């Protein structure tokens, strides 16, 4: 059964709750990080036979005891995001639809791309994190 740790950390200093080392080879992070929250959060799989009781009761560390718990935490820490897949097609579709990016003033790039994805603008792709 897979287990993992949900760890809070200071994105500026890199200091993890419980002084967990980001270089621990038995605790790899698969890109499941939220660097925009305060504190930042990450999920690290437990890939060795360590005693996980050492993490119980540590503020900022949550033990995830199953694949379902890990995948649920991944959805919270790393929700789907959008990217421009093909800039040429994207810009041409905006031009043909007469969509002006200035209409989205004050929006974040992710908010704009999510909205354009809902409108089925060509060249925008939704990405989802890998699960366990």
pLDDT band at 17 (very low <50, low <70, confident <90, very high): very high
Question: Quick one: what percent of the chain has pLDDT higher than 90?
Answer: 97
Backbone angles phi, psi at 118, to 5 degrees: -60, -30
Q: How far apart are CA 132 and CA 66, in angstroms?
A: 10
pLDDT band at 1 (very low <50, low <70, confident <90, very high): confident
Q: 14-22 contacts: CB < 8 A, separation 24 or more? A: 16/60, 17/58, 17/59, 17/60, 17/61, 18/55, 18/58, 18/60, 18/61, 20/44, 20/55, 20/61
| pLDDT tens readout for residues 35-78 | 989 999 999 999 999 999 999 999 999 999 999 999 999 999 99
Structure tokens at 50: 């360590």
Q: How far apart are CA 57 and CA 75, in angstroms?
A: 24
Q: What is the reported pLDDT for 7?
A: 98
Mean per-residue pLDDT, 81-104? 96
Q: What is the reported pLDDT for 106?
A: 97
DSSP codes joined into one string, 89-124? HHHHHHHHHT--GGGGTT--HHHHHHHHHHTT-TTE
């Amino acid at each position: 059964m897979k287990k993992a740790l949900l760890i809070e950390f200071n994105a500026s200093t890199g200091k993890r709750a419980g002084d967990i080392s980001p270089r621990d080879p038995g605790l790899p992070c698969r890109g499941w990080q939220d660097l925009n929250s305060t504190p930042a959060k990450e999920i690290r799989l437990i890939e060795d036979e360590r005693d996980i009781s050492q993490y119980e009761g540590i503020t900022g560390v949550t033990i995830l005891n199953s694949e379902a718990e890990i995948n649920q935490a991944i959805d919270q820490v790393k929700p789907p995001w959008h990217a421009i897949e093909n800039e040429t097609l994207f810009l041409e579709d905006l031009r043909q639809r007469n969509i002006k990016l200035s209409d989205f003033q004050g929006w974040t790039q992710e908010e704009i791309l999510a909205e354009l994805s809902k409108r089925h603008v060509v060249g925008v792709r939704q990405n989802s994190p890998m699960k366990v």
